[in-house]
């Protein structure tokens, strides 16, 4: 893939005083790939992206984005990328349409095309009809959708999305996903996204990297990662203890988990009987496929409190 | 699109943004006019000072200085709004855009001039109605000069804005820079009759030449030859621009 790498980082590092925010990351992302960065708060995702976008100077290492060096050819890098920031960055004294138009001018969209693109983009993110209002009066989700529209409107070859769907309702989130997929199909855009919604990473990305304390801890396709955790998760409640399952080689991992035991198991449906034999006093059992949530919990080092359910307000299954 | 075309579009975008924001913030437009009007009608009329210019009242004498002051204050306030932008994060969108810092500076600088010119036009109209008796040509020249003074002072404001970290520095910049520049410029008194040290300070103050040039335009009288004034103002503008582009080169969100 190295010939067509959209992004190549080697030894990319960033320090903030004593804090090592990004610790010597080596990474190649292929052209047309969708790549998700997952990791706990403060893991270094935003800092990493920000170096690739030429907004933060690396303390060490190099990165090439779209064929250009981020340190020496920042202007050329900027012409090939689009960014949706984690933090809000709209001009709230301007209207939605004005924000988009100004962005187009700044990013070199031919003036003749601007009106058409603004129209289409507004429709895509569901803001048609509200474009003449000042952004100050938009709701949080409307602002977010406008920021996404702005990041996409100049049709970048490489798109960085830092928690793009933060604060969006499930319907809007889906609409954004659909649009990203369409855009990729039509233009082969390379997408690098960070998210705390595991479902989003699972559904959109070809590959996922788990970052913690500035380093990539685990990387692979969502399927691979889930297999690495153990394909299935079994939760047992009632009178059970982890030592009940000692010596079972198909049990990859056992953890105490709110009021019961949580097991990562290969091929749980076939092994369920063997498991239950070990804990006849269990009162409740739940079997499900491993999700990226489980991957996150296992590999992200410091498990997030309630990390399993907190970011999954939209529990509908895919 | 050619490189030049891209650059021009970006400058236009920044200019447009500043213009729109300026005309949408009515409170700012009005509040900046308060102190010049106080100066003109309270100090100018109440103080009953004398004018060194033959056949002019004190009010008329100080008018060009007050006009210049308005532009100076508008410009510096504008520059300080960059700090506001930094905090509001809008700046990030511009900082991340594929434009060079000099393009960004020129766009911001042109955008900032709009405010100074607009305030100046309002003040000239008020002045013509109540104080001045200038010809239309003189008013037009003064407006043209306003653009030049706006350009020079906006650069100054942008340098401060780019360097400053918080809005708390606002008062500091105003008190340490803007007021001394204005008061030392001889806007309110006759420099040729003042003490040596004061005169020296005034000669070193670039704003003195802005005021003097404006006086020439409106009253037909100036302390220095207008060509000197013009040269000094141009030098002031060029210096500010160089400093500004340098300051913008290192401008980042983290500042
Ligand atoms: N401008 C800065 N100055 C000082 N420290 C910083 C700065 N930016 C980031 N850091 C530190 O770098 C580390 C990584 O931060 P970063 O924003 O990259 O995390 P993140 O993975 O994006 O987290 P989140 O999921 O919360 O967005 C944190 O410890 C943070 O405090
Ligand atoms: Mg982040």
Tens of pLDDT, residue by residue over A29-45, are: 999 999 999 999 999 99
What confidence category does residue B251 fall into, taking pLDDT thresholds of 50, 70 and 90? confident
Q: Is residue B89 part of a domain?
A: yes
Q: Taking the CB of residue A239, how many other CB atoms lie within 10 A of it?
A: 12
Q: What is the ipTM of this complex?
A: 0.86
Asked if A78's CB is within 8 angstroms of B97's CB, the reply is: yes
Which ligand is nearest the CA of A162, by number?
2
Query: Exposed, middle or buried, A312 (CB in 10 Å: 0-12/13-18/19+)?
Result: middle
Task: Please tell me which residue of chain B has the smallest CA distance to A87.
Answer: B89
Ligand 1, CB within 6 Å, residue ranges: A 16, 19, 21, 39, 41-47, 86; B 254
Q: Residue A108's domain is classified under what CATH number?
A: 3.40.50.300
Closest residue by Cα to residue A196 from A82, A310, A112, A55: A310
Asked whether residue B203 is assigned to any structural domain, the reply reads yes
Q: Are A7 and A64 in contact (CB under 8 A)?
A: yes
Tell me the whole-structure pTM to 2 decimals: 0.85
The pLDDT, as a whole number, for residue A312 is: 32
Residue A66, both tokens: 């779209």
Mark B152-187 as b/e (b = at least 16 C-beta within 10 Å): bbbbbbbbbbbbbeeeebbeebeeebbeebbbbbbb
pLDDT for B124 beyond 70: yes
* B133 inside domain: yes
Instruction: Flag whether pLDDT at A308 surpasses 70.
Output: no
The string of DSSP codes covering chain B is: --HHHHHHHHHHHHHHHHHHHHHH-HHHHHHHHHHHHHIIIIIHHHS----SSTT--HHHHHHHHHHHHHHHHHHHHHHHHHHHHHHHTHHHHHHHSS--HHHHHHHHHHHHHHHHHHHHHHHHHHHHHHT----HHHHHHHHHHHHHHHHHHHHHHHHHHHH--STTHHHHHIIIIIHHHHHTTTSSS-GGGS-HHHHHHHHH-HHHHHHHHHHHHHHS--SS-HHHHHHHHHHHHHHHHHHHHHHHHT--TT-
Average pLDDT over residues A288-295: 84
Region B56-82: mean pLDDT is 91
Question: How high is the mean pLDDT of chain A?
Answer: 88
Query: By the 8 A CB rule, do B182 and B69 touch?
Result: yes
User: What CATH number has the domain bearing residue A260?
Assistant: 3.30.70.260
In this structure, is residue A143 part of a structural domain? yes
Q: Are residues A156 and A92 in the same domain?
A: yes
* Cβ atoms B70, B125 nearer than 8 A: no
Q: B6 and A108 in contact by Cβ < 8 A?
A: yes
Of B9, B95, B100, the CB nearest to A75: B100
Indicate if A49 and A182 belong to the same structural domain. yes
Separation of CA A19 and ligand 2 centre (Å): 15
Tell me phi and psi for residue A295, to 5 degrees. -60, -45
Q: Residue range A244-270: average pLDDT?
A: 83
- Whether B255 is in a domain gets the answer no
Question: Quick one: tokens of A18?
Answer: 């004593």
What is the pLDDT at residue A314? 36
Is A315 domain-assigned? no
Q: Kindly state whether residues A42 and A76 are assigned to the same domain.
A: yes
Domain of residue B81: give its range.
Answer: 3-248
pLDDT given at position A243: 83
Question: Quick check: B92 and A102 CB within 8 A?
Answer: no
Domain that holds residue A246: 230-289
Strand pairing class (A282-289; A81-84): unpaired
| Inter-residue contact B119 to B74 (CB < 8 Å) | yes
* Interstrand relation of A190-194 and A158-162 (parallel, antiparallel or unpaired): parallel
Q: How far apart are CA A74 and CA B229, in angstroms?
A: 41
The number of folded domains in chain A is 2
**Please, which residues have CB within 8 angstroms of residue A96's CB and are 6 or more apart in sequence?**
A122, A127, A130, A131, A132, A133, A135, A138, A142, A146
Sign, Cα dihedral of B14, B18, B21, B23: negative
Q: pLDDT band for position B44 (50/70/90)? A: confident
Q: How many domains does chain B have?
A: 1
pLDDT the model gives residue A263:
87
Evaluate if residue A311 carries a pLDDT over 60. no
Q: Is residue A301 part of a domain?
A: no
* Main-chain dihedrals φ then ψ at residue A303, nearest 5 degrees: -65, 140
Examine the domain organization and report whether A263 and A196 are in the same domain.
Answer: no
Question: B67 in a domain, yes or no?
Answer: yes
Q: Are residues A261 and A203 in the same domain?
A: no
Q: Please give the structure tokens belonging to residue B131.
A: 């104080």
* pLDDT reading at B255 higher than 70: no
Q: Which of A20, A36, A38, A44 to mutate to test the pocket of ligand 1 (most atoms within 8 A of CB)?
A: A44
Same domain, A210 and A280: no
Tell whether the model's pLDDT for residue A228 goes beyond 90.
no
Q: Please check whether residues A211 and A282 belong to one and the same domain.
A: no
pLDDT value at residue A2: 47
Contact check, Cβ <8 Å, B90/A75: no
Q: Write the Ramachandran bin of B64: left for phi over 0, alpha for psi from -120 to 50, otherwise beta.
A: alpha
- Read off the pLDDT band of B53 (50, 70, 90): confident
Q: Would A75 be classed as within a structural domain?
A: yes
Task: Quote the pLDDT of residue A255.
Answer: 82
Record the tokens describing residue B64, joined without a space. Answer: 């060009």
Best mutation site among A15, A21, A83, A216 for ligand 1 pocket (most ligand atoms within 8 Å of CB): A21
The reply to whether A52 and A134 lie within a common domain is: yes
Dihedral, B161, B163, B165, B171 alpha carbons, nearest 10:
-50
pLDDT of residue A206: 96
Residues A206 and A251 in one domain: no
Same domain, A146 and A265: no
Torsion of CA B41, B46, B47, B53, to 10 degrees: 50
Q: Are residues A92 and A21 in the same domain?
A: yes
Contact A240, A282 (CB under 8 A): yes
**Domain for residue B54, yes or no?**
yes
In a domain, A86, yes or no: yes
Instruction: Please tell me whether residues A103 and A234 are part of one structural domain.
Output: no
Residue B66 falls within a domain, yes or no? yes
> Above 90 in pLDDT, residue A181?
yes
Quick check: is B132 in a domain?
Answer: yes
Chain A residue at shortest CA distance from B3: A108
In a domain, A296, yes or no: no
């Amino acid at each position: 893939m190295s010939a067509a790498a959209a992004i190549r980082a080697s030894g990319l590092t960033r320090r903030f005083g004593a804090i090592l925010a990004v610790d010597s990351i080596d990474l190649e992302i292929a052209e047309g790939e969708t790549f998700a960065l997952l990791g706990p708060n403060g893991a270094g995702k935003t800092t990493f992206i920000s170096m690739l976008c030429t907004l933060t100077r690396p303390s060490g290492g190099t990165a090439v984005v779209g064929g250009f060096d981020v340190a020496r050819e920042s202007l050329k890098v900027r012409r090939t990328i689009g960014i949706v920031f984690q933090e809000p960055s709209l001009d709230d004294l301007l209207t939605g349409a004005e924000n988009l138009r100004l962005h187009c001018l700044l990013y070199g969209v031919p003036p003749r095309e601007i009106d058409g693109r603004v129209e289409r983009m507004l429709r895509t993110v569901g803001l048609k009809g509200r474009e003449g209002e000042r952004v100050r009066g938009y709701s949080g989700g409307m602002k977010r959708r406008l920021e996404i529209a702005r990041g996409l409107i100049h049709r970048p070859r490489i798109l960085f999305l830092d928690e793009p769907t933060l604060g969006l309702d499930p319907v809007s989130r889906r609409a954004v996903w659909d649009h990203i997929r369409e855009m990729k199909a039509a233009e082969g855009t390379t997408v690098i996204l960070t998210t705390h919604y595991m479902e989003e990473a699972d559904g959109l990305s070809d590959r996922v990297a788990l970052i913690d304390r500035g380093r990539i801890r685990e990387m692979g396709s969502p399927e691979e990662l889930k297999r690495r955790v153990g394909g299935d998760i079994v939760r047992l409640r009632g009178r059970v203890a982890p030592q009940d399952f000692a010596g079972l080689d198909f049990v990859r991992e056992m953890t105490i988990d709110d009021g019961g035991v949580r097991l990562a198991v290969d091929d749980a449906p076939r092994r369920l009987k063997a498991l239950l034999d070990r804990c006849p006093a269990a009162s409740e059992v739940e079997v499900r496929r491993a999700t990226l949530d489980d991957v996150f919990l296992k590999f992200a080092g410091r498990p997030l409190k309630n990390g399993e359910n907190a970011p999954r307000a939209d529990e509908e299954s895919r | 699109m050619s490189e030049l075309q891209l650059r021009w579009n970006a400058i236009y975008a920044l200019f447009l943004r500043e213009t729109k924001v300026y005309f949408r913030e009515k409170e700012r437009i009005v509040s900046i006019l308060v102190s010049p009007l106080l100066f003109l009608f309270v100090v100018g009329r109440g103080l009953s000072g004398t004018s060194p210019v033959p056949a002019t009242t004190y009010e008329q004498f100080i008018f060009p200085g007050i006009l210049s002051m308005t532009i100076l204050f508008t410009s510096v306030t504008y520059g300080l709004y960059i700090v506001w932008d930094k905090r509001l994060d809008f700046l990030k969108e511009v900082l991340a855009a594929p434009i060079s810092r000099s393009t960004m500076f020129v766009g911001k600088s042109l955008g900032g001039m709009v405010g100074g010119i607009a305030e100046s036009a309002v003040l000239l109209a008020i002045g013509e109605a109540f104080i001045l008796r200038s010809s239309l040509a003189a008013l037009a020249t003064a407006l043209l000069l306003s653009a030049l003074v706006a350009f020079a002072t906006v650069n100054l404001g942008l340098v401060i804005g780019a360097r400053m970290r918080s809005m708390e520095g606002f008062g500091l910049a105003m008190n340490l820079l803007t007021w001394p520049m204005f008061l030392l410029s001889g806007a309110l008194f006759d420099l040729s009759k003042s003490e040596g040290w004061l005169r020296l300070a005034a000669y070193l103050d670039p704003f003195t030449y802005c005021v003097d040039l404006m006086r020439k335009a409106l009253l037909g009288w100036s302390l220095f030859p207008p060509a000197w004034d013009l040269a000094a103002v141009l030098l002031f503008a060029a210096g500010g621009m160089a400093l500004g582009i340098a300051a913008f080169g290192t401008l980042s969100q983290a500042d």
